[in-house]
Amino acid sequence: GIQVEQSPPDLILQEGANSTLRCNFSDSVNNLQWFHQNPWGQLINLFYIPSGTKQNGRLSATTVATERYSLLYISSSQTTDSGVYFCAVNRAGNNRKLIWGLGTSLAVNP
Amino acid sequence: GAVVSQHPSWVICKSGTSVKIECRSLDFQATTMFWYRQFPKQSLMLMATSNEGSKATYEQGVEKDKFLINHASLTLSTLTVTSAHPEDSSFYICSAGGGQPQHFGDGTRLSIL
């Protein structure tokens, strides 16, 4: 089955710093989503981005479907950005079942 | 935007009790919902796919008699953990999506004493 790899597994930043998180996937996909799981466990939809580039405030994401990777950019990080960032994908015809990466655990220090 | 409501947020109960968790799509219809389990510091693990009006499809290794799923309407799926034991303690999350993308409930933290 399709494999999803995220890097780095852990990241510590000083408030105000920028970062790039990466998601590699092993086969073509028709859905890719980035999520932020906050310390209370809530999963926040960040981007639905099977291809192209999107921006939302300090966050932006780019998916290069032909090269099978996606990047999540966090600029001017804040302590509230702390948590785990997950990438999840699914393939056409598999009933929308998402395949998850192991996540990047981000800690932003004041 | 699309909202998925999950209830309850927290459950603490004694071993042997059965616990029901509800997942509702508030502003859209969902023929398919998904139930996940998450252990501390791990990724989400798909337990089952809930199909409106038919039986759920369970992932390999998930006991269907332990985790009963009912999807009786286009807006409601329930997960019942039957005769729960401490090893069933975990964080359970549901998701739904009429198409793409999927939307997630806030999760249920289950603690069995």
Q: What is the pLDDT of residue B98?
A: 59
Q: In angstroms, what separates the C-alpha of A15 from chain B's closest C-alpha?
A: 23
Q: What is the pLDDT of residue A42?
A: 92
Using 50, 70 and 90 to split pLDDT, how confident is the model at B1?
Answer: low
Hey, what amino acid is at B112? Answer: I
Chain B residue at shortest CA distance from A94 = B49
- Are B38 and B91 spatial neighbours (Cβ–Cβ below 8 Å)? yes
| CB pair distance less than 8 Å for A43 and B102 | no
| CB pair distance less than 8 Å for A97 and B93 | no
Three-state secondary structure readout of B17-39: CCEEEEEEECCCCCCEEEEEEEC
Q: What is the pLDDT of residue A94?
A: 60
| Mean pLDDT by groups of 10 residues along chain A of 110 residues | 95 97 94 93 94 97 96 97 96 77 97
Interface of B with A (CB under 8 A): 32, 34, 38, 41-44, 46, 49, 91, 93, 95, 97, 100-104, 106-107, 109
